[in-house]
């Protein structure tokens, strides 16, 4: 087993300070659990939606220098072109998940609790609102995915499937008394279901190994709004803010002598190894979905939707792929429900010091989600897919509000003591956070910049008008949208990015770490 985990151990040598303890299978199994719960946030219906859209795309990149430029879509392997982002997104996510696990293990306090201790009430309140927005958005996607799976498997109408998702709340509450160990077993079963289902589909699709390796190795820059939206959507669904809060809280379920630096170091090593292993499995399963829908046998309408994905698989590969996709989607919905419930409970306790039972918490979140969703069901499924994609982009916009506190605490000697990140490790972590967080708000604003111009080649009711979307500014500078909807979207995203930047600066400048002696130091817990 140590030989199989050697690449992950090598990865941890760069993330965790040396020396690392000797590997022991028995000790590793003792710490197994929290990382798998968190990794399921990387496999929710929002992720599957982004994977499906990326794989089913049949355009060609027109950006200069793109390895896909000028090739025919059927031969270019365009559907594999987002695999590089999937790979590096999971690699970056693995680093931050390891940092979150270290923070919770060393301090015996979760990230939300540390924020409450160190920042002002206003900053904490807005951080809590941002976290709740991310959780509710993920639950929205979970409800859509579960309802669509029930529609495919049982032929139920969407509205009835949405209402039946209240029942899966009871399945979560059934494990309330068994503690985190019981929940970890449930997650293990759901992971096995998804691995089987998505593995069957990728075997049926027979992906090209050459195109797969090409997509992993050659990054490509999107040149249109749809391609940019797919990139941001995948980035947002890979790195979810509430996953970091959840991981920092779950590691406290393991008994560690935090007054003994060697024991803390050992726990950091095994928690990090487990997180790296879980995210590796998550990456493989996400890549399976991308490769399945990248198959040229998949019928591709103007844009493949989550509601029509099962029918497309049945037409391409038969009934087995149809059922496997629906079962995998249903399992992903249950995973997202449980992960969101626990993350929301820890965030509420940490930020606001409000204790709420999981029963009340789960039912409240689900009712908040179902109400608007039932109204949206009056719209077309295409609208639901667009909303799901917008939620993924929102996750990318909210990411800086979680990464900044995590990095501030991870490099603080007052909080982490001898386990604080120093030297090139801290610089690398900050550089990775900047690479993820800084481009997202501006890119999202430009994604939604709409410009209407005359085009005589367009016929019908929209003759002479065409929507053009631009990710990068022209030589004349960014062109403002001329229609009200585009202007509202652009202004809203730009205002949101400014608020995000201001709140991030508040989180950094209002830190009271040097003055607050109640913060954990060298393993002493926070009250």
Residues 6 or more apart from 280 whose CB is under 8 A from it? 8, 90
Contact 111, 350 (CB under 8 A): yes
Contact 305, 66 (CB under 8 A): no
The tokens of 510 are what? 């209002």
Query: Residue 222: pLDDT above 70?
Result: no
Question: Tokens 């797919």 correspond to what residue?
Answer: 230
Chain-wide mean pLDDT for the chain?
A: 74
> How many whole angstroms separate alpha carbon 456 and alpha carbon 459?
7
> Among 108-117, 139-148, 277-286, which stretch is predicted with the lowest mean pLDDT?
139-148
Q: Which domains does the chain have, with CATH numbers?
A: 6-393 (1.10.4160.10)
181 vs 469: which has the higher pLDDT: 181
In tens, the pLDDT along 311-320 reads 889 988 989 9
Which is it for strands 450-453 and 466-469: parallel, antiparallel or unpaired? Answer: antiparallel
Residue 452, H or E segment: strand 450-453
- pLDDT band of residue 106 (cuts 50, 70, 90) is very high
Residues 6 or more apart from 373 whose CB is under 8 A from it? 140, 143, 144, 162
List the one residue out of 349, 445, 351, 353 whose CA is nearest residue 394: 445
Mapped onto helix, strand or coil, the DSSP state of residue 468 is: strand
Query: Residue 288: pLDDT above 90?
Result: yes
Question: Tokens 């020396």 correspond to what residue?
Answer: 19
> How many whole angstroms separate alpha carbon 89 and alpha carbon 47?
12
pTM recorded for the entire structure: 0.77
In tens, the pLDDT along 437-459 reads 665 555 555 444 433 333 334 33
């Amino acid at each position: 087993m140590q030989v199989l985990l050697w690449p992950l151990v090598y990865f941890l040598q760069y993330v965790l300070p040396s020396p690392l303890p000797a590997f022991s299978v028995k000790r590793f199994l003792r710490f197994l659990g929290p990382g798998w719960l968190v990794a399921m946030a990387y496999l929710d219906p929002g992720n599957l939606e982004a994977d499906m859209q990326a794989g089913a795309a049949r355009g060609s990149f027109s950006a200069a220098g793109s390895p896909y430029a000028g090739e025919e879509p059927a031969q270019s392997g365009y559907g594999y072109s987002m695999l590089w982002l999937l790979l590096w997104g999971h690699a970056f996510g693995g680093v931050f998940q390891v940092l979150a696990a270290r923070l919770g293990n060393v301090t015996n306090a979760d990230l939300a609790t540390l924020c409450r201790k160190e920042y002002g009430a206003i900053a904490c309140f807005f951080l809590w609102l941002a976290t709740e927005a991310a959780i509710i958005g993920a639950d929205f996607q979970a409800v859509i995915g579960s309802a669509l799976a029930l529609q495919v498997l049982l032929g139920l109408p969407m509205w009835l499937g949405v209402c039946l998702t209240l029942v899966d709340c009871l399945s979560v509450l059934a494990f309330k008394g068994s503690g985190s160990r019981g929940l970890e077993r449930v997650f293990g079963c759901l992971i096995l279901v998804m691995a089987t289902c998505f593995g069957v589909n990728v075997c049926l699709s027979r992906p090209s190994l050459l195109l797969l390796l090409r997509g992993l190795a050659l990054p490509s820059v999107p040149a249109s709004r749809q391609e940019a939206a797919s990139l941001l959507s995948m980035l947002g669904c890979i790195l979810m803010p509430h996953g970091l809060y959840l991981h920092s809280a779950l590691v406290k379920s393991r008994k560690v002598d935090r007054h003994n630096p060697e024991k803390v170091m050992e726990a950091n090593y095994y928690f990090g190894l487990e997180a790296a292993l879980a995210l590796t499995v998550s990456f493989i399963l996400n890549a399976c979905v991308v490769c399945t829908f990248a198959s040229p046998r998949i019928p591709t309408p103007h844009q493949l939707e989550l509601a029509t994905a099962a029918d497309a698989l049945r037409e391409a590969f038969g009934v087995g792929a149809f059922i496997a996709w629906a079962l995998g989607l249903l399992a992903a919905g249950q995973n997202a429900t449980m992960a969101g419930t626990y993350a929301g409970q820890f965030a509420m306790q940490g930020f606001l010091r409000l204790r709420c039972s999981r029963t009340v918490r789960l039912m409240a979140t689900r009712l908040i989600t179902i109400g608007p969703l039932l109204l949206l069901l009056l719209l077309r499924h295409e609208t639901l897919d667009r909303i799901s994609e917008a939620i993924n982009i929102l996750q990318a916009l909210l990411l800086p509000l979680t990464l900044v506190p995590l990095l501030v605490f991870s490099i603080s000697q007052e909080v982490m003591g001898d386990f604080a990140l120093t030297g090139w490790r801290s610089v690398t972590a900050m550089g990775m956070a900047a690479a993820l967080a800084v481009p997202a708000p501006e890119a999202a604003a430009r994604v939604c910049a709409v410009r209407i111009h005359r085009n005589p080649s367009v016929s019908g009711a929209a003759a002479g008008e065409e929507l053009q979307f631009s990710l990068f500014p022209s030589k004349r500078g960014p062109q403002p949208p001329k229609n009200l909807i585009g202007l509202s979207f652009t202004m809203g995203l730009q205002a949101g990015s400014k608020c995000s930047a201001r709140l991030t600066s508040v989180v950094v400048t209002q830190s009271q770490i040097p003055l607050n002696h109640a913060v954990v130091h060298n393993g002493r817990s926070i009250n």
